[in-house]
Structure 1
Amino acid sequence: MKFLRFIPFILLFTAATSCKKDKPVIAQHVKKVEKDTVLRIKPLDIKLNKVPQSYINSKKASIDNFYNNIWPKDNLSGGFLVAKNGEILYETYGGLANRSTKEEINSHTPLHLASVSKVLTAAVVLKLIDFKKLELDQKVNTLFPEFPYEDITIKMLLNHRSGLPNYAYFCDDSKIWDRSMLHNQDILDLMAKHKFDLYFKPDKKFGYCNTNYAMLALVIEKVTKMNYRDAMKKIIFDPLEMNDTYVFNYEEDKETASRSYKGNNVLYGFDFLDDVYGDKNIYSTPRDLLKFDMATYSHDFLNPELVKQVFKGYSYESKGVKNYGLGIRLREWKTGEKLFYHNGWWHGNTSSYVTLKKDTVTIIALSNKFSYKPYKVSKLAPLFGVYPMKDADEDLFD
């Protein structure tokens, strides 16, 4: 069967201000139609108003003050971006992608997203559901007969209610795994072989676990009949022109990828978990993540009824404002206000993606030097809407 790639939408990115000379420019993104795309997708129609200069001016000083308080003396080692309606209000980059070669980080430097990768993995799974290639309540063992947990569904993987054990823990046992480079299929094979106990009965409660998204990457491969890296590129990265985004391949990219550093600037070495993808291992930039965020405002990106299921909480076992949707964290207050986000941490990389849907604002911070500071950017939300952030602390290791 032949499939047609959609002609990507036109994105207008105009920089109102930038802390660097590298400013965004007005650009039109149009590609030729190809016949090898796995899904047929309509052109994306994004209708967001142009941001008035008066609005930009009213926010600039506050964002700049916030930035200088969080990252004083130019100690950012990554990128920070704030946008409204797809227009960049504030953007800055700093530090080194590789300290040995002195390669500087700029707007085109892909950095490890850590668990923010889950947002993009979930997006592809949801598109497969939207196009009837997969069902949200479909049991995982209908795709993988060897998967030993009968009651776990795709939805439970997406919203972390499966109860699956963390692969990083059971693979740390030398009797289970010899610490050679681990791959997603190895995780499935080990669960099939050892039938590890679940942490809890499926759908009983929320339990954040990277194994869920390592399995979702295998689901993508099974349904698309493509390698996860190729599927992500074909379904999300290329159509949205996320040209600086890719899935890390240890053998091919270990020498050229931006490196990861401890807080004291000591290099983090690779380990046996560094070739597992889906839960992590996507490298991207703030601008590319902004392109993705803009796509989520189009009804043609995902069916609106499915979008409603994405941006809702599924875990109310414990009181509080924090919850998890389908591949996205959220805070929801009694006032009805909601903030959507995802944080990440892997080795020295920390990241935060915040999307204020009601106010069409995007806030992104990426760092390749270990720091809690990216997690603080959600504190900017009250500048754009009614978000009682004082009632909730930052989430740490995601």
Structure 2
Amino acid sequence: MIPGFTRFTTLFVCFFLLFGCQTEGKLTKKITAETVSDAFHFPKFNPVPKSFVPHYYDSISNFYRERIAQDFNGMFLVAKNGEIVYERYKGLANHQFKQRIDKHTPLHVASISKVVTAIVICKLADSNLVILDKDIRSYLPEIMYSGITVRMLLNHRSGIPYYGYFPYSIWPATKTLTNQKIVQLLNTYKMPLYFPPNTQFSYCNTNYVLLALIAERITRKKFPALAKELVFEPLKMTDSFINDGSQNSDSIARSYDSRNRLEPFTNLDGVYGDKNLYTTARDLLKLDKATYSNVFLSDSIKKEMFRGYSYEHKGKSNYGLGYRMREDGGKSTLFFHTGWWHGNTGCYASLRKDTICMVIISNHYTKKVFGINRLSTLFGNYPYEPLIDTKENFIRPKVAIERMDEAIRKKNKP
């Protein structure tokens, strides 16, 4: 029974959902956790071999002690077959209130948020509520760009400009930016694409801002509530939430620079989809476990998620749908995502061939988190490189800003 609803209301809602029509640019079908997936049960893994923990525990412990622990402020977890092998929690979530970090303390994981955004979109695709190869204007009819599909947003091949380069002349530092306002500014100033769609890779947060908007348009629900309904609640990720800017206060874990100075919230901290997921190492482990289930995500959609799309340039780095990748010949593929926003840094890595999950999150700026892949070689034949790209196909900031400034000048020209 639905709390607060009369039987008549329930029947009316069911009738509306059954016979509701779809018009161009709008979807009238509503969505709930029940319509996307049935009650979820985590997949059953083989028990962790008795020899595994004593064999690997010392190596993991030495890694943490020698490479992470000193001056570390955050959480660290390694799991095998969904079972925690090693975890540590250290430091403060909030210096002012002396709030210590423990297994239930949600920390901002920056771009690791993209994994959840991609999963929400892929669950909608599983339910035929979004089509990955459909033009995004089918869902966001007001956007000026043509020829860009949902898939191109997911794999960063759209060419759409980065909203973080908006100058204060068009959006002041004192005013909180929103996802919808980003679309309006792109349109108002006719910001040009960096390159024709699907011709190359360039990591850009705007892609995932638009994905969150698409999910909202389809479901008529705000993205933080939708992520809770489709991901956090079914997986019992009870310590996870997406901040839309309304929680920007001392009620949540704060961010600090490398000298332990508080990082203030900025005008970009109300934007979500690309960031603003607050979660824990244990909740990310639950998410990782769920990705092995064909109930939570279909086998067909996972084949789309866990493959590379950008091979124009030789190299080991690639990007799937919401996951970064390291591919190196005959070695096992490493799937992961890093995060960096203000003083928050982190990495979630999934060694899928060996069902290993590694998570490290810090709310005090440190590059240590990007070296967690050193552990991957302990468990299998995985590529060994720092998990941060210095030579991604980013458009150079100077060039991107110059193009944006030129578009603004054209708009403001008498």
Q: Deviations over 1:209-233 (max 9, x none)?
A: 0000000010110111100110010
Equivalent position of 2:172 in the other structure: 178
Determine the C-alpha separation between the residues in 1 that align with 2:278 and 2:247.
14
Measure how far apart 1:143 and its partner are.
1.2
Determine the C-alpha separation between the residues in 2 that align with 1:210 and 1:162.
11
Q: Does the Cα contact within 8 Å between 1:44 and 1:299 map onto a contact in 2?
A: no
Determine the C-alpha separation between the residues in 1 that align with 2:389 and 2:251.
28
Q: How high is the sequence identity, in percent, across the aligned residues?
A: 45
Measure how far apart 1:44 and its partner are.
3.6
Equivalent position of 1:150 in the other structure: 146
- Partner AA of 1:256 in structure 2: S
Determine the C-alpha separation between the residues in 1 that align with 2:190 and 2:339.
28
Determine the C-alpha separation between the residues in 2 that align with 1:52 and 1:151.
50
Q: 1:197 to 1:348 in 2, by over 3 A?
A: same
- Partner AA of 1:259 in structure 2: R
Measure how far apart 1:132 and its partner are.
0.3
Equivalent position of 1:110 in the other structure: 106
Measure how far apart 1:144 and its partner are.
1.4
Q: Which protein has the bigger helix share?
A: 2
- Partner AA of 1:51 in structure 2: V
Q: 1:267 to 1:41 in 2, by over 3 A?
A: same
Tell me if 1:341 matches 2:336: yes
Tell me if 1:98 matches 2:91: no
Residue among 221, 227, 231 paired with 2:226: 231
Determine the C-alpha separation between the residues in 2 that align with 1:118 and 1:38.
23
Q: 1:135 to 1:186 in 2, by over 3 A?
A: same
Q: 1:37 to 1:71 in 2, by over 3 A?
A: closer
Residue among 48, 53, 70 paired with 1:51: 48
Q: Does the Cα contact within 8 Å between 1:161 and 1:204 map onto a contact in 2?
A: yes
| Secondary structure, aligned partner of 2:148 | coil
Measure how far apart 1:196 and its partner are.
0.4
Alignment length, in residue pairs? 362
Q: Does the Cα contact within 8 Å between 1:2 and 1:36 map onto a contact in 2?
A: no
Matched ranges for 1:1-398 at <5 A: 1-2=13-14, 37=33, 39-42=35-38, 43-44=40-41, 46-73=43-70, 75-169=71-165, 171=166, 173-179=167-173, 180-389=175-384, 392-395=385-388
Equivalent position of 1:11 in the other structure: none
Q: Does the Cα contact within 8 Å between 1:356 and 1:381 map onto a contact in 2?
A: yes
| Secondary structure, aligned partner of 1:362 | strand
Q: 1:36 to 1:174 in 2, by over 3 A?
A: closer
TM-score, normalised by the number of residues in structure 2: 0.85
Determine the C-alpha separation between the residues in 2 that align with 1:106 and 1:45.
24
Determine the C-alpha separation between the residues in 2 that align with 1:201 and 1:63.
45
Determine the C-alpha separation between the residues in 1 that align with 2:154 and 2:92.
34
User: Is the deviation greater in 190-199 or in 289-298?
Assistant: 190-199
Measure how far apart 1:394 and its partner are.
2.8
| Secondary structure, aligned partner of 1:53 | coil
Q: 1:272 to 1:76 in 2, by over 3 A?
A: same
Measure how far apart 1:269 and its partner are.
0.5
Q: Deviations over 1:78-105 (max 9, x none)?
A: 1000000010000000010001111100
Determine the C-alpha separation between the residues in 1 that align with 2:34 and 2:342.
33
Measure how far apart 1:337 and its partner are.
1.7
User: Is the deviation greater in 44-53 or in 325-334?
Assistant: 44-53
| Secondary structure, aligned partner of 2:371 | helix
| Secondary structure, aligned partner of 1:358 | helix
Measure how far apart 1:39 and its partner are.
2.6
- Partner AA of 2:388 in structure 1: D
User: Is the deviation greater in 192-201 or in 41-50?
Assistant: 41-50
Q: Does the Cα contact within 8 Å between 1:160 and 1:207 map onto a contact in 2?
A: yes
Measure how far apart 1:71 and its partner are.
2.0
- Partner AA of 1:60 in structure 2: Y
Measure how far apart 1:194 and its partner are.
1.5
Measure how far apart 1:336 and its partner are.
4.6
Q: 1:104 to 1:134 in 2, by over 3 A?
A: same
Q: Does the Cα contact within 8 Å between 2:209 and 2:271 map onto a contact in 1?
A: yes
Question: What are structure 2's unaligned runs of at least 5 residues?
Answer: 1-12, 16-30, 393-414
Determine the C-alpha separation between the residues in 2 that align with 1:131 and 1:306.
11
Measure how far apart 1:176 and its partner are.
1.9
Q: 1:286 to 1:45 in 2, by over 3 A?
A: closer
Q: 1:230 to 1:388 in 2, by over 3 A?
A: closer
Determine the C-alpha separation between the residues in 1 that align with 2:149 and 2:44.
35
Determine the C-alpha separation between the residues in 2 that align with 1:381 and 1:348.
25
Query: What is the alpha-carbon root mean square deviation over aligned residues?
Result: 1.6
Measure how far apart 1:145 and its partner are.
1.4
Q: Does the Cα contact within 8 Å between 2:36 and 2:123 map onto a contact in 1?
A: no
- Partner AA of 1:104 in structure 2: R
Q: 1:190 to 1:85 in 2, by over 3 A?
A: same
Determine the C-alpha separation between the residues in 2 that align with 1:168 and 1:229.
21
Q: Does the Cα contact within 8 Å between 1:112 and 1:283 map onto a contact in 2?
A: yes
| Secondary structure, aligned partner of 2:314 | coil
